[in-house]
Each structure stands twice: as structure tokens, then as C-alpha cells.
Amino acid sequence: MVNSLVGSRVRTSTQCRSSRLVMFVFAVALALLLSACTVTMEGAAEVPADSASEAAIESGGRVRIGAPSEAFDTFNPFFAQGLADWIGLWGVYDTLAWLVGSEVQMGLAESVTPNEDGSEWTIVLQEATFHNGSPVRPQDVVYSFATFADPEQAPFFAQFFVNIDIANIRILDEKTLVVPLHFPQGDFLDRNLATISLVVPEGTAGGAEAVGSGPFKLEAYEPGKSIRLVRNEDYWDGPPLLDGIEVIFIGDANARLNALKGGEIEYAAGINPAAARAEADNPDIQILPAGVANSTAHSFAANTTIPPFDNPDVVRALKLVVDREALVNTVLFGFGEVGNDVVGKGLAGYNDTLPQVERDVEEARRLFEAAGVTELSILTGEVYPGMVAAATLLAQQLAEVGVTLTLEEIPADQFFSDFVRLMTTPLQSTIHTNRPAAVHAALMTGSQGGFNITAIAGEEYDALLGALVAEVDSDRRLELGMDVQEYLYHHDGMIIWAFQEDINAAAPGLNGVIYSQSAPRFHLASYSE
Amino acid sequence: MAAGIAVLWAVSLLLFLAIYVLPGDPASRILGNRATPEALAELRERLGLDRPITEQYLAWLAGILRGDAGASTTGAPVWPLLKERGLNSFTLAATASVLAVAIALVVGVAGGLRAGGPVDSTLSVGTLIGVSLPDFVLAGVLISLFAFVLKWLPPVSFLTAGSTPFDRPLILVLPAVSLAAPAGAWASRYVRAAVVDMRTAPNVEAARLAGLRTSRVLTRHLLPGVVGPIAQVLAAVTAFLVGGAVVVEQIFAYPGLGSLLAGAVAVKDFSTVLAAGLVMAATVIVAFMAADIIGVLTNPRLR
């Protein structure tokens, strides 16, 4: 898909088409987008290319991007939180590998190869230089790994470097290093490196004088105002088409849309679904639903170890009573797709052979009655737009089968603050970024899952998941991923009722924007007024 | 002056207490869904949030007195950003104040001089609408009309790196009008009342009977008499503008103190909320003190 749109600029020769491809949206980006932005973006999608205008454009153009930010972001790649900063950082810095949808693209790394059991990974770097002319060396990679692994310096990302045995990394030559892991991991490239592997010059940490090796150079940075980047003419993979981009901090989604409509910017990162609906026929802007691959999974999470959900029939009844179509149309204004209780729709490795869960009011009523369930409560909060509305609609749907649902609404900023409460709540609204199913399972489920709020685990499941994580062979990992999803589909209490698409908007002449991990990337974009 | 400082201190105490009782804390915000009890405790200790409230308050106050407003949740110092945002807000507020004063004087004097007449009645209805209209509604109407229909003005007022409002003064127009219209309408009602009172004052009556031209009566005898009361009203207008800035700056994406404060509250950035809140409170206090001084200087009985 990417290649057909952006032509030879994408390096097909270096793509690693692993079957289990990993994406991740780091916790802070999620938190930011939950609180400050109406949409999240993950995976890949593109501004549809206009073939006529694309043919006419060889280079040039400057694009202004409106994006939400944190007032005190400092353009520090180890600590950045705001989407605006990340759009800028992805331009200034290179990553060893990166994700385009479900595909891992190699970046600064020419190759990343595991040993037989996935306990050591050999990274060979491209011939590349930083913007100050100095070469990108293995030492810079080691420094970047070590800084990202430090919870003090990189509190949001350290968890993704915890498995790297940094003290024992070996530098073989000026382009090659061997990275040992504390325990074997077959998806190290997909889950870790393609997720977050920015390389900064040794001893630096971004800031207003940030120097990277990316397609754009930092020209000016001012918190609360904008990040101005100019084309890096010496980029190792060829300079980008655009002369430059400027990321302007606009916190309010309506203000971003107004700025686009008024011609003040060419790209609005994140607009409201209702506004998108209202502007659908406006010829002066492109509304860009990012597709299900770039979406947020909405769910009702039932803890399978707490009554009444320790009874599988009650979980089954809840799944059957949810009217997913109605939720999508009402809560998401139609900008979404119905879910089928496993994460990863639209991404590689998704098990689409599982039959869609359909609403069955009579069967739900029978199961609830048999279990003696007449009252339930749900913990909810407006962490993400629509969560409370969804719980309210669920209450109406449950009422149809004689079950009274009480909403326990708490402030959004407190929703994730009490970990113990999250782990001991029988039923709660929640969301997940839509990531490949295998990655989601490894991160969120099983005995070692960091945020296993449905408490799905047990000897059988842990063994299944353990085999998946350790598997180096990509085809075998794909098969194991399917099995894991099937297990979750039948046994987990996670009712994923929809995938809400991210919605962005752009001026008509903008083409070739690629999404990766919540941030649009502009190094392959072109713009013509 | 002493009273002003005392009020400012009281405000600082109230601000601190208000923030203290807000649900959630910066540690929860920073850690998000990784907020295990252990991690929260460790971060709270690092941020000093585990100390008694009196100790936290005194440490913060001591810092403020030294000119150190502390650091944000990302570790960046608060003052530099606060200064720049403050200047931006001052520019917007000054523009809005000029507009508000102009609206208040023109509408108030015109209505007061023709009290009870059709002009007065029309202006009264207009000002009532102006006062009643929420600033965000007015902003929306202005954006639709002047940015999208007429295409005269930009719908947003952001600044880019290295630029100031003076580089592109047109961006100030819509937010300033959004702020000034309700404030000016509100103030005009007080100006009108003061003008009605002054119309029957002995010196104004005498000047009129002496055959002076209306403009001279107005500028020499009537307006000086209403300056004192109007100054008080304008001080209140300042408070109006400071409060309205929080909403209007958000709507127009204008990087001022109001939008900074709103963002800081959303992420529980205590140091920023306290410092920005204190600066805004100080602005209002200074405005009222200035109004008191003007009132004394323009009223011989108080001099």
C-alpha cells in the first residue's frame, strides 16, 4: 500500500516482513492523547495521494501542522509527551526501525538479526551522519539504549528497554553491535526496536539545539509556540520532498480545524468526529479517517476472577447483550468498526476467522437469569470521549434483559491512578490502542501482563503466551498468535465493542503523509497549493 | 500597598489549598497507567508531595519570594515560560482594555446624555445582550463571520517560534473583541449611570447655562466627574478580562497565561497553576489599587 502511493522512496529491499509485527504506543502518548486530544493514531495510514498533483510535484512546499502539545515539553526524546513534540522528534531523529501499519521498516539499522534462540541480536547500522556531520556510531546506539532504559531519564519508555543487557552490549566494528537480552525474545525487533529506538548523539538529550540524523533539521523550537524544521539535504536516504515543516501547538481540536479551514495550517492532527461529520462535504479540506488500523479499541472489561464474572456464562451473557452497531453509530458518530473481542483489527496477525459476536437478547436474558444476575455496576470515566456515553448506552441495553446497570463515574484523571482498584473492579469501561494482537497479548494479558484488568491467565494460557513471546520464527509466531486470540475470544472478559478510527484533516494539496505510532510522518509528503 | 500584599498572600494561601484538595496529583498524572502504589510513593517523595502541606506551602512561598516559581512536572523551570506567556496575555488584555474602554465610554456617554430616549433604550438592549452573551459564543460568531464568511481576519491566533503578537497584530483582533465586547457592555452601564448623575451636578448645570458648547461641557465638566467611578469599573473590567482570557485564549489557540493555566490545571502541574494563578490575581489586585489611587486623585473630597 505504501509503495503504491509513495513510489520508490520507500525501501522495499530493507523491509522486514515479519509475520508478527509489533506496534506500541508508549504510555505517555496514550495518556496525552486520552486527555488532550480527541483521537489517537497508531499504525499506518496515509493521506490519499492525488495522482495528478503528485505527478507535478518533485520537491518543495512547506507544511504547517496543528497538533496538541504539553506546555512544558522540551523536545527531549527521552521525556517528550506531547504529540506535537513527537511529530518534530520523528523528523529530527532516526530510529533503528519503525512501524508502518503492521510492517516493520528498517531505518538507521541496515539489518537486525537474532541468534538461534533470540537471546542476542546483531544490529548493523547504515552509513549515516548526524546533522553536525559526525557519523552515527554504535556508541551512540548504546548511549541511546542506556538513557531510554533509565527510569529517571525516560520514565515512559524504560519498560521497553528493561530486557536489554546494556552492560554487556558488544561493539564489533564501526557499524555493528551485538545486543544481548536478559531473556530470549523472538519479537525484540517488532515489539521493542520498531516501537521506540531513536538514536541521539552520545551525551545529548535533544532540546532547542537538538541534532539528529533524521530527514529534517531543527531550525527553531519554542515551547508553547512551534517547532520549525528544514529539509536535511544530506539525509542518508535522500532528502525529503518538502522544504520544511512547522509543527504549531494548538491544543483545542476545534481550533485546529478552524486553523485548517482558515488556511493557517495545512494539516490538523486530530479533529472531533462530530466536526468531521459536519465538514464532510467541505471541498476545501480533506477529512482523513485513518482506517481501523489506526484506531482505539473501546471495551467493557469484566474481571474473570471476581463474581459474577467468575461464571463464564455471565461473561457470555454480557457479550451477547451488547449492541455493538448501536454503540458505534451513537457514541462514535459512525467513525469506527464493530469489534470482536480481540485487539488488532486491520493489522497483520489478526484472527479474522473467529465468528463475529452477534447480539442475542433472548440468550443473554436466559444466561443472566440462570446465573441469578439482576444488578451490575460499571466503573467508568471520560478518559476518552464517549466512554461514559457507552456505559450509559450499555445500561439501556442491559435493561432490555432485566439487568440494572449502575454507573460509577469517576474523574478522568483518577481513572488510572488507583492501580489496585483497576485490578479489583468487576466491570469497567476501558480503551486500548489498537496494536497487533500478539503484542497486545504479550503486554496486557497473562500472569506477567502489566495491565491485566480481566485477570486472564492460568497455566494453559501462560504456556500458550510464553511460547508466542519466545518464538523467533515469524511464521510459527503467526500461528501461535492465532491460537492466543482464539483462547482470549473464548475465555477473556474483555468485550471489545468497537475500534474508533483516528480522524485527521488536511488541505487538498497535501499528499504522502504516513502514520506511525501515533504520529504523522512527513518525510515522504509533498504539498502543492 | 500593604493591604494589596496582604490580599495577595491570602490569595496564594487559597490557591495552594484549592490545589491541594483537587483530586489526583502530579505523580498519578506522570505515571498514568503504570501508577503502582510503590511507583506513586517513590515519585511523590521525589516531588516533595509526601511532606506536610504547611511545609510544602512555606517552601513554595519562599521560592516565590526568591523569584523561583519552581519546576513543572517535566522538570522545566516555570518562570521563563510564565514571563513570555504573561507578556502575550498583557498585550491581548491591553488591546481588549482599550476596546472595552472605548465601548464603555462611547455607549455609556451616548446613553447617559440621552437617558430615557430611543437611543438610550436601543443601547441598553444592546449592552444587555453583550453582557449576557458568553465569550465563547461570541468568539464562535466572530470567527464564522470575519474569518470564514468575510475572510478578513484569521480564525486562530497562534504564534510560531520566534514571533510575537506585534509581528502579526491582526491575530489580536478577534480574541480582543471577544474579550472586550462583554466587558465593555457591562462597564458602559456604569458609565451611563455616572453620566446621568453628573448631568445634574451644579458645575455641569452652570457650564450649560453659561452657554458652553456641548463638547466642551462634556470634556471639561462632565467626564472629569465620572473618571473616579469609571476607574473602579475598569478595574473590574480587568478582572473580567483576566477571567475571560482562560477561555478565549483556548478558543483562539493564543499562547497566553490563560491557556497556560488551563493546560496546567488539566495535567495537574501544580507549580505552574500556582504561579500563573498568582500572577493573574496580582494583576487584578494592582488594577483595583490603581483604581483606588485614581479615585482619590480625581475626587477633591478624598484627596
Interface A-B: count of C-beta contacts within 8 A? 137
Handedness of CA B212, B213, B216, B217 (dihedral sign): positive
A248 closest CB neighbour out of B28, B158, B252: B158
Q: Which residues pair with B95 in a beta bridge?
A: none
Closest to A419 (Cβ–Cβ): which among B36, B253, B260?
Answer: B36
Alpha-carbon span A170 to A325, nearest angstrom: 54
- Cβ–Cβ of A417/B36 closer than 8 Å? no
A321 — contact with chain B (CB < 8 Å)? no
Res A316: pLDDT: 96
CB spacing of B155 vs A264 below 8 angstroms:
yes
- Give the model's pLDDT for residue B9: 86
Positive or negative CA dihedral for A161, A413, B280, B68?
Answer: negative
Q: Kindly report, residue by residue over A34-85, the tens digit of the pLDDT.
A: 333 333 333 334 444 443 344 444 567 899 999 987 666 789 999 887 789 9
| CB-CB under 8 Å, B162 with A220 | yes
The pLDDT of residue A2: 31
pLDDT recorded at residue A374: 95
Contact A223 B162 (CB under 8 A): no
The confidence score (pLDDT) of residue A70 equals 66
Predicted pLDDT of residue A211: 96
Dihedral angle over CA of B119, B122, B128, B134, nearest 10: -120
Between B34, B37, B161, which is nearest A220 by CB?
B161
Q: Which residues of A touch B143 (CB under 8 A)?
A: 258
Q: Which of B35, B161, B252 sits opposite A221 (nearest CB)?
A: B161
Q: How confident is the model at residue B37 (pLDDT cuts 50, 70, 90)?
A: low
Q: Do B161 and A259 touch (CB under 8 A)?
A: no
A226 touches chain B (CB under 8 A): yes
Dist. CA A108–CA A161, nearest whole Å: 18
CB–CB of B263 and A261 under 8 A? no
Q: Give me the residues of chain A with pLDDT under 50, please.
A: 1-57
Compute the distance between CA of residue A320 and CA of residue B209 in angstroms, rounded to an integer.
89
Check A413 against B28: CB less than 8 A apart.
yes
Question: Residue A441's closest CA among A459, A419, A421, A456?
Answer: A456
SS3 A109: strand
Q: In sequence order, which residues have a C-beta less than 8 Å from that of residue A346 and are 6 or more positions away?
A: A43, A291, A292, A293, A295, A337, A434, A499
pLDDT (0 to 100) of residue A358: 95
Q: How many CB atoms lie within 10 A of CB B240?
A: 24
Domains and CATH numbers, chain A: 94-204 (3.90.76.10), 216-290+503-528 (3.40.190.10), 295-501 (3.10.105.10)
Among A70, A79, A155, whose Cβ lies nearest the Cβ of B267?
A70
Task: Say yes or no for a CB contact (<8 Å) between A72 and B28.
Answer: no
CB contact under 8 A, B255 and A225: yes
Put simply, whether A209 touches B (Cβ < 8 Å) is no
Rounded average pLDDT over B279-291: 84
Q: Which pLDDT score is estimated for A28?
A: 32
pLDDT digits (tens, 9 = 90+) for B174-225: 999 999 998 889 888 888 888 888 777 777 777 777 777 777 777 777 777 7
* Residue B232 pLDDT grade (very low, low, confident, very high; cuts 50, 70, 90): confident
Please name every residue paired with B53 in a beta bridge, in sequence order, or none if there are none: none
Query: In the prediction, which pLDDT does A244 show?
Result: 96
pLDDT given for residue A381 in this prediction: 85
Q: What is the pLDDT of residue B23?
A: 62
Our separate counts of H helices and E strands in chain A read: 16, 23
Is the overall model pTM greater than 0.80, yes or no?
A: no
* Residue A35 pLDDT: 34
